[in-house]
């Protein structure tokens, strides 16, 4: 009996102590964290993000997450780096998947391996949730630095009504560059010297332009960069020369693509308005097209010259370096929730990005959605030929050396070979310090 009373007293004291300990925690309130998020494609992504974070906060009272809009992918990288330098990093960031290597080189990322291990999970088990094609941009030196969140591949969008008007069968889309060129010729309409309908539109603004050049180079049998080492790009190569020459020919030889460098939103607007009958654009714009096109449309694989291949695009969730332990833990809770099968599926349906978590496609809502919208399957089917997205030391400046030159070509100010030689020279100069400290630093 004495034991029982002591036990009860002990339990009561423990309860009191727990209560006393709980008081400050309650008084302090939830752990407040920021999530930086970009909006790189068309549509209502910002509103959808608000909906997602509202649900997270309602179901996780110990955490209060705030979604902070940060502009484009490039803007988001700049703002994240500035916040790290200021000692006030956000707890999590939706970061362009190909920026992770450069950030890891600069010691700006949290290695997620310890957080995965703390959950009693192995890295292989954790990564096994996601499509294998996405892991190349999430794993660096065998450690996990990013969690795939919304990912994309480029697609060929076709105005099916205009294709039929031109005597083309939209159920049999062009599979090669030759076929695409032929389709674009038949779909281009002119009144005298004025073009009233372009056959094809391909975006070339910063970020999009590099992704499109990687796409065309890969379908021409080439590589954009060294996937195993961050100090080499392959701009001045036959495969990239062929790719840029074909793009240039669409503009100036076949005259089926408008001259000049065009942004992604301008390309989608041109397609939606009927000014362009086909376009190459991210699957991240698919929901926008579905919601706004007043005509029948089709989506298809990117046509090949040598082989079928596409780069991965989109973003991963990262935890910046320099974060307090409680915010790091809260960020990890948010990241796991956002990339769960149910939320991954919801985000895919809302935006058009494909869901990185493979189990998302087995959820009842997603199965029903795909039955009604089979166009959402194309990007997933294309993953069989997808490869990692361009990533090097100083990714953005190295990418821009090429983009600046491609824009000059599309504006009629340079020829492809001249442009690629200049791009290679500028990129090599940017990569020189990294190579001096790695591949050229000999014992």
**18 pLDDT more than 90:** no
**171 pLDDT more than 60:** yes
> Going by C-beta distance under 8 Å and a sequence separation of 6 or more, which residues neighbour residue 92?
33, 34, 35, 36, 317, 318, 319, 331, 334, 335
Residue 23: pLDDT band (50, 70, 90) is very low
What pLDDT, on a 0 to 100 scale, did the predictor assign at position 8? 36
pLDDT tens, 209-247? Answer: 999 999 999 999 999 999 999 999 999 999 999 999 999
What pLDDT, on a 0 to 100 scale, did the predictor assign at position 28? 73
Residue 43: pLDDT band (50, 70, 90) is low
**147 pLDDT more than 50:** yes
Percent of the chain with pLDDT over 70: 93
pLDDT tens, 244-267? Answer: 999 999 999 999 999 999 999 999
Residue 41: pLDDT band (50, 70, 90) is low
**101 pLDDT more than 80:** yes
Between CA 351 and CA 355, with CA 353 as vertex, the angle to 5 degrees is: 115
**4 pLDDT more than 90:** no
**27 pLDDT more than 60:** no
What pLDDT, on a 0 to 100 scale, did the predictor assign at position 19? 37
**351 pLDDT more than 90:** no
What pLDDT, on a 0 to 100 scale, did the predictor assign at position 14? 37
Residue 42: pLDDT band (50, 70, 90) is low
What pLDDT, on a 0 to 100 scale, did the predictor assign at position 25? 45
Determine the Cα–Cα distance for residues 146 and 129; give it in Å rounded to an integer: 13
What pLDDT, on a 0 to 100 scale, did the predictor assign at position 16? 35
**349 pLDDT more than 90:** yes
Residue 420: pLDDT band (50, 70, 90) is very high
Per-residue pLDDT, averaged over 47-52, amounts to: 92
**421 pLDDT more than 70:** yes
Per-residue pLDDT, averaged over 86-113, amounts to: 96
Mean pLDDT of the chain: 92
**44 pLDDT more than 90:** no
Per-residue pLDDT, averaged over 88-113, amounts to: 96
What pLDDT, on a 0 to 100 scale, did the predictor assign at position 284? 87
**271 pLDDT more than 90:** yes
Per-residue pLDDT, averaged over 420-438, amounts to: 98
Per-residue pLDDT, averaged over 347-353, amounts to: 90
């Amino acid at each position: 009996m004495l034991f029982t009373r002591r036990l009860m007293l002990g339990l009561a004291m423990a309860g009191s102590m727990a209560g006393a300990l709980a008081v400050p925690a309650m008084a302090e309130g939830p752990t407040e964290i920021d999530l930086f998020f970009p909006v790189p494609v068309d549509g209502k992504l910002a509103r959808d993000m608000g909906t997602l974070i509202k649900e997270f906060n309602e179901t996780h009272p110990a955490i209060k997450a705030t979604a902070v809009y940060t502009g484009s992918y490039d803007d988001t990288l700049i703002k994240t780096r500035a916040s790290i330098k200021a000692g006030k990093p956000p707890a999590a960031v939706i970061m362009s998947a190909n920026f992770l290597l450069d950030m890891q080189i600069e010691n700006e990322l949290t290695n997620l391996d310890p957080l995965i291990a703390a959950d009693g999970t192995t890295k292989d088990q954790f990564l096994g949730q996601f499509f294998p094609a996405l892991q190349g941009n999430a794993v660096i030196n065998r450690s996990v630095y990013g969690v795939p969140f919304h990912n994309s591949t480029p697609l060929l969008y076709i105005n099916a009504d205009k294709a039929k008007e031109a005597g083309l069968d939209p159920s049999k889309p062009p599979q090669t560059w030759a076929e695409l060129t032929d389709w674009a010729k038949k779909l281009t309409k002119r009144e005298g010297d004025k073009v009233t309908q372009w056959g094809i539109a391909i975006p070339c603004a910063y970020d999009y332009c590099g992704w499109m050049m990687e796409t065309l180079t890969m379908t021409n049998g080439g590589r954009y960069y060294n996937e195993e080492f961050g100090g080499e790009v392959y701009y001045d190569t036959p495969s990239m020369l062929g790719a840029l020459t074909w793009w240039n020919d669409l503009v100036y030889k076949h005259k089926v693509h408008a001259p000049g460098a065009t942004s992604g939103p301008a390309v989608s607007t041109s397609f939606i308005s009927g000014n362009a009958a086909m376009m190459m654009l991210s699957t991240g714009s698919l929901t926008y097209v579905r919601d706004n096109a007043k005509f029948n449309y089709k989506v298809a694989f990117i046509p090949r010259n040598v082989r079928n291949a596409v780069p991965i695009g989109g973003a991963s969730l990262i935890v910046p370096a320099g974060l307090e332990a409680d915010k790091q833990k809260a960020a990890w809770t948010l990241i796991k929730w956002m990339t769960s099968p149910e939320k991954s599926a919801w985000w895919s349906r809302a935006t058009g990005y494909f869901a990185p978590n493979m189990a998302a496609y087995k959820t009842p809502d997603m199965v029903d959605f795909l039955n009604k919208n089979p166009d959402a399957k194309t990007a997933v089917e294309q993953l069989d030929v997808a490869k990692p997205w361009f990533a090097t030391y100083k990714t953005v400046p190295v990418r821009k050396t090429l983009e600046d030159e491609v824009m000059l070509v599309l504006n009629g100010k340079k020829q492809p070979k001249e442009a690629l030689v200049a791009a290679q020279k500028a990129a090599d100069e940017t990569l020189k310090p990294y190579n001096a400290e790695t591949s050229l630093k000999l014992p």
